[in-house]
Structure 1
Amino acid sequence: MDKLETMKAFLAVVQEGSFSKASEKLNLSPQLVSKYVSWLEEKLKTRLLNRTTRKVSVTEAGRAYFERCQQILIDLEETENSLSNLEQHVSGTLTVSAPMSFGTRHLARLLVDFQRTYPEVEIDLQLTDAKVDIVDQGIDVAIRIGHLKDSSLIAKKITPIRLSICASPDYLTQYGEPASPDELVEHSYLKYAYTEENFVFSQFDQHAAKLRLRHTITANNGDLLMNAAVHGGGIIIQPTFITGEAIAQGQLKRILTGYEPSPLNMYAVYAHRKFLASKVRSFVDFVVQYYGDIPYWDQY
Structure 2
Amino acid sequence: MDTLRGMQTFVRAVELGSLSAVAREQGSTQPTISKTVAALEQELGVRLLQRSTTHLAPTEQGRRFYERARRVIEEYGEAVADARGLSETPAGLLRISAPVSVGVLRMNRLVQEFLALYPQIEIELILNDRFVDLVEEGMDVALRLGANLPPNVVARRVAVSPRGLVASVGYLAQHPRIDAPDDVLAHNYLRFAWASESFELHGPGGEVRRLQANGRYRINNSLGIRESFLIGAGLGLAPAWLVQDLIDSGELAWVLPQWKASAHEAYLLYPARRYLPLRTRVLVEFLRERLPQLPGFVAVE
Note whether the superposition's TM-score is higher than 0.5: yes
Residue 207 (structure 1) shift: 1.0
SS in 2 for 1:224: helix
2:204 match: secondary structure: coil
Partner of 2:192: 192
What is the CA distance between 1:194 and its match in structure 2? 4.7
Q: How does 1:61-80 map to 2 (within 5 A)?
A: none
2:267 paired residue number: 267
TM-score normalised by the chain length of structure 2: 0.64
Which position in structure 1 is the counterpart of 2:38? none
Alignment CA distance shift 1:237-1:120 (3 Å): same
Q: CA offsets, 1:223-254, max 9 Å, x none?
A: 22122122121112112222122222322221
Q: Name the SS for the 1:161 alignment partner.
A: strand
Match of 1:132 in 2: 132
Runs of 5+ unmatched residues, structure 2? 1-77
- C-alpha distance in 2 between matches for 1:134 and 1:197: 32
Flag the 1:240–1:135 CA change in 2: closer, same or farther, 3 A.
Answer: same
Q: Which amino acid aligns with 1:91?
A: A
One-letter code of the match for 1:189?
Y
* Change in CA separation of 1:149 and 1:168 when aligned onto 2, cut-off 3 Å: same
Measure, in 1, the Cα distance between the counterparts of 2:194 and 2:178. 25
Segment of structure 1 superposing worse, 278-287 or 210-219: 210-219
- Residues 132, 151 of structure 1: CA spacing in aligned structure 2 closer, same or farther, 3 A cutoff? closer
Q: What one-letter code is carried by the residue in structure 2 that aligns with 1:140?
A: D
Q: Where does residue 243 of structure 2 map in the other structure?
A: 243
Residue of structure 1 in register with 2:118 after alignment: 118
What displacement does 1:192 show?
2.1
What's the offset of the Cα at 1:206? 0.2
TM-score scaled to structure 1, two decimals?
Answer: 0.64
- Residue 161 of structure 2 corresponds to residue 161 of structure 1: yes
CA distance in 2, matches of 1:159, 1:192: 23
Aligned AA (1:215): G
Secondary structure of 1:256's counterpart equals strand
Residue of structure 1 equivalent to 2:208 = 208
Say which one has the larger Rg: 2
Deviation at 1:87, TM superposition (A): 5.2
Question: Separation in 2 of the partners of 1:198 and 1:232?
Answer: 22
Q: Which residue of 1 aligns with 2:46?
A: none
Deviation at 1:138, TM superposition (A): 1.8
Gaps of 5+ in 1: 1-80
Cα distance between partner residues in 2 of 1:107 and 1:188:
31
Superposition pairs of residues 15-54 of structure 1, within 5 angstroms: none
The equivalent residue for 1:285 is 285
Aligned to 2:257: 257
Q: 1:220 offset after TM fit, Å?
A: 2.1
- Determine if contact 2:106/2:294 at 8 Å carries over to the other structure: no
Once residues 180 and 277 of structure 1 are traced to their aligned partners in structure 2, the CA distance between those partners, rounded to angstroms, is 52
Identity of aligned residues (%): 27
Mapped to 1, the partners of 2:134 and 2:194 lie a distance apart of 18
> What residue is the counterpart of 1:232 in the other structure?
232
Q: Secondary structure at the match of 2:130?
A: coil
Name the structure 2 match of 1:42. Answer: none
SS in 1 for 2:261: coil
1: CA distance, partners of 2:153 / 2:200: 27
Shift of 1:101: 1.9
Contact 1:129 1:220 in 2 (8 A): no
- Contact in 1 for aligned 2:244/2:295 (Cα 8 Å): no
1:297 Cα shift?
Answer: 4.5
Question: In the aligned structure 1, how far is the partner of 2:184 from the partner of 2:224?
Answer: 20
Cα separation, 2, equivalents of 1:195 and 1:146: 14
Which AA in structure 2 matches 1:179? D
Cα RMSD (Å) of the superposition? Answer: 2.5
Does the CA-based 8 Å contact 2:161-2:297 persist in structure 1? no
Shift in CA distance, 114/249, structure 1 to aligned 2, threshold 3 Å = closer
Cα–Cα, structure 1 residues 177 and 271, in superposed 2: closer, same or farther, change >3 Å?
Answer: farther
Match of 1:180 in 2: 180
Distance 1:151 1:258, change over 3 A: same
Q: How far, CA to CA, are the matches of 2:176 and 2:90 in structure 1?
A: 56
Residue number in structure 2 paired with 1:50: none
* Partner residue in 1 for 2:97: 97
SS at match of 1:162: strand
Tell me by how many angstroms 1:124 deviates.
0.4
Q: Is the 8 A contact 2:240 2:295 kept in 1?
A: no
